[in-house]
Amino acid sequence: MAIDILELAASAPPEIRQKFQQREYPAGACIITPSQIPACCLYIIRSGVVEVQKESGGGNAIVVNTFSTGEVFGEVEIFSPEYKPYEVFAKTACSILVMDKETVFHWMQEVFDFDLYLCEMLTRRMYVTSDSMSRIALLPIRERVLGCIWSYYSRGQLSRLTKEELVSQVRAPLRSVNRVVRSCIQQGIIDYRKKCFVVKDAETLERFSSNYTL
């Protein structure tokens, strides 16, 4: 049975619980930036939704993950501080518990269920990421291209999707991507004007969304 991190936090030993910081973020607020020092904190979402964004090769920000009530983020920087953190924004108003690395390690020493929660969470995320990447790699190029376009379109970020970024996301040669784009334009699914993609048939495009997850 999955461990509830909010219940775990509520029952943490008093000397650990008193080190938790309660923070409130309005929608759109930046929670973590790549230049943040120190960035080694664990964040437990009590309410709300956050988006994790990564800057693409073209300089555009793309959403790579979304977390909501009862989930955590920031664990990568705690256990692998050599990795540069991604930007995290509050998609909605958020109430978040924040604790530094020392508090996390103290909690791990005192409460085995917290260790178990972290192991389960990290294993689950690693599996989901690996499974998603393998499924996308096995898709035909056409499905990868349309799935990628849909993922940007459905999040209201289509204006950020450049041809170069599309090639990078679907991991296919530019020539192959151009061939698919031309075919889809001829079929009236999308258009490509002034270096910007335009969706013309959202219903058809959405059919390619189930197997494609960034």
Q: Give me the pLDDT at residue 18, please.
A: 96
**pLDDT for res 127:** 84
Q: Under CATH, domain 5-136 is a member of which superfamily? A: Jelly Rolls (2.60.120.10)
What is the SS3 string spanning 153-176? HHCCCHHHCCHHHHHHHHCCCHHH
Q: Give the SS3 label for residue 180.
A: helix
Alpha-carbon distance values, 53 to 59, 89, 208 (Å): 12, 8, 23
Question: Angle formed by the axes of helices 174-186 and 141-154, to 10°?
Answer: 70
Structural tokens at position 49: 């939704």
Q: How many CA atoms lie within 13 A of 31 on its CB side?
A: 35
Instruction: Please check whether residue 151 is in contact with residue 213, taking contact to mean a CB–CB distance below 8 angstroms.
Output: yes
Q: Judge contact between 199 and 145, C-beta under 8 A.
A: no
Domain boundaries, the chain: 5-136, 140-206
CB atoms within 10 A of CB 129: 13
Residue 77 pLDDT: 86
Reduced to 3 states (helix: H, G, I; strand: E, B; else coil), residue 179 is: helix
One-letter amino acid identity for 168? S
| DSSP string over 101-154 | HHHHHHHHHH-HHHHHHHHHHHHHHHHHHHHHHHHHHHS-HHHHHHHHHHHHHH
Q: For the CA atoms of the chain, what is the radius of gyration?
A: 20
Question: Span 140-206: which CATH code?
Answer: 1.10.10.10
Query: Which residue shows structure tokens 């031309």?
Result: 182
- Fold identical between 5-136 and 140-206? no
Residue 26's Cβ-count burial label (10 Å; 0-12, 13-18, 19+) is exposed
Per residue of the chain (214 residues), give pLDDT as tens: 578 999 999 999 999 999 999 999 999 999 998 776 556 899 999 999 999 987 765 556 677 889 999 999 999 889 887 877 889 999 999 999 999 999 999 999 999 999 999 999 999 888 887 777 777 777 888 988 998 898 888 878 888 888 988 888 888 899 999 999 999 999 999 999 988 999 999 988 888 766 665 5
Q: What is the pTM of this model?
A: 0.73
Q: Is 5 exposed, middle or buried (0-12, 13-18, 19+ CB in 10 A)?
A: buried
